Structures are given as structure tokens and as C-alpha cells.
A and B are shown apart, each in its own frame.
Chain A
Amino acid sequence: DVKVTQSSRYLVKRTGEKVFLECVQDMDHENMFWYRQDPGLGLRLIYFSYDVKMKEKGDIPEGYSVSREKKERFSLILESASTNQTSMYLCASSLGGQTEAFFGQGTRLTVV
């Protein structure tokens, strides 16, 4: 069974902390994505990666960075967490541009 696994379901962090969200996929997919989900806004793309060490900004990259040192792992980094980054974060992977994406279970991050 294909799998995208996010390291945490729930996280509570303090304002100003550096936060790492980890995502691992076991499908040997080239593409990996980080989305943010907020009520009424759907999912918005933060960053994506199409190969190891390759990354591109999505629609809302401000305040975030990413790392992809290995094909199976894609990390989202909040350099200095702020309360407006309280949200649900979803990681996804896909084989190619036209194929469906597989999603992790999400990480609900609260910044206090």
C-alpha cells in the first residue's frame, strides 16, 4: 500500500521557534509538495520539489523553507513561527505531472 507519512499529527509551538515538519514517501515518487489548508481557502501550495535538492516556490512561500536531501524525504521549515502560521499542513507526492497525488494524514500546527 502506498504511503505518505508525516511525522506528527499535532504540534504546538511557541512564537519565534524554528519548526520542522517531516514527510516521507515510500513510492519512489519524483515530485513532493507541501500544502497549507485553511477554512474557506482550500489547499494552497507552499513549496514543491521535483528532484533531490531541487525546489520551487509555490503560491505562499513567505516564512517557509524546504529541504530535500533524499528522494523519499521532504521537510518543511518554519524559520520563526508566527501565529498566522497556525494551520493544517499536508504533504503529498506524485509520480509525474499528470498523475494523482498521494497525501499524508496532515499535521495540525498551533503556534501560540
Chain B
Amino acid sequence: AQKVTQAQTEISVVEKEDVTLDCVYETRDTTYYLFWYKQPPSGELVFLIRRNSFDEQNEISGRYSWNFQKSTSSFNFTITASQVVDSAVYFCALTWGSSNTGKLIFGQGTTLQVKP
């Protein structure tokens, strides 16, 4: 069965600190896709990144970076020099296989609070 675990329920940091959000996944499929979404207080989930199982390259986008390690089944998300606007709930998600349904399995979410 597929599963996504975000062990950190809540994280609180002070502005300009770096913070890493952990994500561990389980799947038996060799083809799968991992995602990160941000949910600000407005409620709408905002897509941040997609990574497929065949591409282990890390990615950097501005202050955001992602570390994908198949050996540890992890897909961690780091925010460098955090800002108050980064305060949100962050979800890691997984879809798998070659079917076209796009069903997502989500982690429990990590609430990030960035204090000024």
C-alpha cells in the first residue's frame, strides 16, 4: 500500500532561519510521482513541485529546495531564510503507477509558523 508520512506536525521558527520539512513515502511501484503543496490561510492548495521516481536530481527554486533520496524514501523540503509569508500548512503527496487517474495520497501536513 502507498503511504506518506510527515512526522512534524508543527514547526515554529523565527524569520530568516532555515527550516526543513520532512517527507517519507512508501510505495512498491517503481514509477511514482511526488509533490509538495502549500496551503496558506486562504485554504487553497498551491502546487510547489513535482518529482518523478526516475529523477533524483535535487531542485532549487529561489529560497526553496528539495532533496529527493530514493535510498531513504524521502523527499524533504527546505526553505532558506524563511519569511512570515511562508507561514502555511505544507503537504507532501504521492501518486503512483502508469495509470491516468492521478489519485494523490497525502501526508498529514506540517504547519509552519514563521515569527517576525
A75-104 vs B, Cβ < 8 Å mask (1 yes, 0 no):
000000000000010101010111111111
Interface size on A, residues (CB 8 A): 31
Q: Is the CB of B108 within 8 A of A96?
A: no
Closest B residue to A29 by beta carbon equals: B102
Collect the chain B residues with CB atoms within 8 Å of residue A104's CB: 44
CB of A83 to closest CB in B, whole Å: 22
Collect the chain A residues with CB atoms within 8 Å of residue B87's CB: none
Known A40-B9, A97-B95, A98-B52; judge A45-B104 contact (CB<8 A): yes
Q: A35-B106, A97-B99, A98-B102 are in contact. List 10 more A-B contacts (CB 8 A).
A: A45-B104, A48-B102, A48-B103, A58-B103, A88-B43, A99-B50, A100-B35, A100-B50, A104-B44, A106-B44
22 contacts across the A-B interface (CB closer than 8 A): A31-B102, A33-B102, A35-B104, A35-B106, A42-B4, A42-B6, A42-B107, A43-B93, A44-B106, A45-B105, A48-B102, A48-B103, A56-B101, A92-B45, A97-B95, A99-B50, A101-B102, A102-B47, A103-B37, A103-B46, A104-B44, A105-B44
